[in-house]
Amino acid sequence: MSKIIKTEAIVLSKMNYRDTSIITIVYTEELGKISAIVKGGRSPRSKFGMIIDPLNHLQIIIYLKESREVQLLSDAGIISHFPKLKENLKAVKYSYAVIELVNKLIPGDEPNKRIFKGLVRILSLLNSSDQSPEILFGRFFLFLTTEIGYEIQLDKCSVCGSTELNNGELGFNYGRGLLCTKCKKESIDNYKINSELFSYIICLKNNEQVNSLTETTINNANNFFESYLQYHIYKFKEIQSLKTL
Ligand SMILES: [Zn+2]
């Protein structure tokens, strides 16, 4: 028995399959992350094959059979293809990083409406906002890691509990968390967090305005995010989109 499910979805990836078909991974509102085949999706006669493209926000129909690994996608219509985002190379790069994280970090078949909403919202902001793509990406990173149970705690030292964190270089131990200047000397710190990086991540986390931001701090933040995931997520290697695009 298969069920017919109508749901919104964001296309995370696609690949060609056989002569004319497409296999896509989509993050859907109703079903979470699923793989689906679009039969004949590359044929010129396909009514909707063309819109099965990464980043697109679609309304889709899925013939769901729970025993099947790849579902059948039988119809699709476009909600948004985020045209302004695609004109801006930096926004494209960070949008791909967003869908890459969703693809790599979220297990299949677990719907989560908050993550779906957050994903649509971040792509809409990347499409329309005057906020920098790297800042939007940073906010999404902290949101997503919190949603999947790996929240980065930054409000106090994880060893002594001190909240005096604004004087000097801090450390971060992936297993424990944040280390104040004093505890950093006595513990293993996997990552050094200078004061610019610390206040930047705090701004991201509290949704505060970021006033000045250097290229070095952006790179430090992205490196910190990546190594945090390498520690917590089995087999996670890198945020590829930040390197290749
Ligand atoms: Zn401490």
**How far is residue 221's CA from residue 167's CA, in Å, rounded to a whole number?**
19
Residue pair 52/40 in contact by the 8 Å Cβ criterion: no
Ligand 1 centroid – CA 219 distance (Å): 26
Ligand 1 centroid – CA 43 distance (Å): 62
**How far is residue 220's CA from residue 237's CA, in Å, rounded to a whole number?**
17
Ligand 1 centroid – CA 169 distance (Å): 12
Ligand 1 centroid – CA 181 distance (Å): 7
Query: Which of left, alpha, beta for 102 (phi over 0: left; psi -120 to 50: alpha)?
Result: alpha
pTM here is 0.94
Looking at residue 147, what is its pLDDT? 95
pLDDT per position in the chain (245 positions), as tens? 789 999 999 999 999 999 999 999 999 999 999 999 999 999 999 999 999 999 999 999 999 998 999 999 999 999 999 999 999 999 999 999 999 999 999 988 789 999 999 999 999 999 997 889 999 999 999 999 999 999 999 999 999 999 999 878 999 999 899 999 999 999 887 889 999 999 999 999 999 998 889 999 999 999 999 999 999 998 899 999 999 76
**How far is residue 176's CA from residue 188's CA, in Å, rounded to a whole number?**
10
Ligand 1 centroid – CA 171 distance (Å): 10
Ligand 1 centroid – CA 188 distance (Å): 12
Residue pair 143/135 in contact by the 8 Å Cβ criterion: no
Ligand 1 centroid – CA 98 distance (Å): 33
Looking at residue 158, what is its pLDDT? 95
3-80 carries CATH number 2.40.50.140: yes
Q: Hey, where are the domains in the chain?
A: 3-80, 90-151+214-244
Ligand 1 centroid – CA 183 distance (Å): 4
Ligand 1 centroid – CA 192 distance (Å): 14
Ligand 1 centroid – CA 182 distance (Å): 6
DSSP 139-208: HHHHHHHHHTT-----SS-TTT-----SSS-EEEETTTEEE-HHHHHHS--SEEE-HHHHHHHHHHHTTP
Looking at residue 245, what is its pLDDT? 60
Strands (E) located in 18-163: 21-28, 32-38, 57-64, 70-80
Looking at residue 62, what is its pLDDT? 97
